[in-house]
Structure 1
Amino acid sequence: MTHEFESGFFVKEPAWHRLGKVLNNPPTTEQAIIEAGLDWKVLEEPIYRQQEDEFVSLPTHKCLIRSGDQQLLGVVSKAYHPLQNSEAFKWFDVLLHEGDVTLEAAGSLKRGKRIWILAKIQMNPVEIQEGDAIQPYLLLHNSHDGSTAIWIQFTPIRVVCWNTLSWASASRFEEEKKRKAFRIRHNSNIEEKLALAHLALDLSRRSFNTAIDEYKAMATKPISRELFELYIGNIFSSDSPTENWAFPLIQENFEAGKGNGGKTLWDAYNGFTEWLDHQRGKSEVSRLESAWFGDSARLRIKAHREALALL
């Protein structure tokens, strides 16, 4: 539902959901938090229950409230420490000041319950094949309802059509073990853990170089119609992918999608990710959330794994 995208900005052009403000230039941290509609605080308030003739506060839980409109964000344990939006943006400050990244996008979903910040890593885009370039990003996403930890991860994006790609031969949790993603729990040591900025940037740059090698290998792998059907079937875990309603759309993307020619494994992989980002789901907003945080993120990882298995 469109109301789940509450506010946000993108630099120079909107992403696939076509929502939010479009800025002409990358903003500073101070500008970004305002343009994203995230210039509010998470307030902590006690929860009361009636006990005989008086109200007493619960010793185990508290409410998280958004300042300004008093929107209820969530109910969490007393040990939970919210990461304020201003602190999330400050995580990028040292990298911004040193010219390592620029802020590309940020926004609020589900009435402030989930926020995200996307920063472009200052590396030259790399062409996988002529006219088909990949750009590396860092994505920070956080929940204000207690549903998730704070995640910071490397995210490659295909420039020609803003497909979010995967370099996740494993899930986020497996990536964390391999130090390709960071999960920061909501506790009193958040500020100390946010000092991982330089490490995250370094690992992202190395991940990007490895991802490029994998993508180029896909681009040199010819694929037949039969192998294409096998590939899509393996992603969906189905013996008959043509019976899936999505298959005709994915096949069309494979053969004639943006930057595709229907000839290589790279075309097949991008045909699938184009479907995830631009065609799957009931609304543009649901595609955005699913692409980065939901089921589409899971399918993207599987598509990457299955592509590597065919190399």
Structure 2
Amino acid sequence: MQFSKQQRLHVGERSHLCSHCDRVFSLKINLTRHMRIHTGEIPYQCNKCDKAFSLNSLLILHMRDHTEVTPYQCIHCDQSFSQRGHLTDHLRIHTLERPYRCSQCDKSFQAKYALIKHMSFHIKERQYRCRQCNKAFQLECNFTEHMKIHYVEKPYRCSQCVKSFKANNELIKHMRIHTGDKPYTCTQCNKSFTQNGTLTTHMRIHTGERPYQCSQCDKDFVQNCQLIQHMRTHTGEISYQCSWCNKEFSNKKLFKLHIKIHTEDSSYKCSHSDMEFSYNNNNSRHPRHLTQNQNKINESYKLNELKVEVKDEQM
């Protein structure tokens, strides 16, 4: 017997099964929406910026960011927000609440997406592993998409190194690294750059433009990567974990410097002592400490000599 749409809602029939996980749905449209989690499809595009969303309702909420209407006011400071969810996230700065707890360890986070990213550290085994670069994936669809990176034809080869490219214009841009050609010149200070995008970012130094605004506080930034780095101060997100000592970092540059401690030999030897360092900036700072300590010792000797002279005069 066939049930109507309304009848299926009452009897609880679930006939639409997801092929990627064990979720089932009573309505096909709900399955279609759910599948976007696995496929990464985001069909609802904002016409004001480059953001896109999997659901139309999320796009409608996002559009408030472009309207200057911010009805949700923080009771602790003068900030206001276009969405209730943004206000909820912001309030945790004041309350220090971290409601998203990891089920594998004792860590907790202010934002849900920070917890999701953290959980990837606990995944020890993944079903789909790339033989080219050893990267692993939980879902077959993500693995298949990744493999295109290795098997896409790249007929345009660099004559100076081993790199190759899909398009000729990409090769032309790359060749500027070898030739030193910098065709994009700043009209304000005569600095030149290999790519137009780098010049655009540089021009913001002169114009004062800082287009990347934090939704949690009043800070803004010249580059999107700076905003992403800053957002980790609000979410408590830890993106980089050392596999040798489990130390964690939110900054990629500091993480890479730390890894050198484990992977590199002590290449830099101090000329004043027997100490060795993994990278040269520590070595360059070390003699200053030696010099400062020696100065303190010399001052101490001079002070003691002065005290002896004063005692002799008094006697």
Greater Rg, structure 1 or structure 2? 2
Q: Which is helix-richer, 1 or 2? A: 2
Normalising by the smaller structure, the TM-score range is under 0.3
Q: Which is strand-richer, 1 or 2? A: 1
Scaled by the length of structure 1, the TM-score of the pair is 0.22
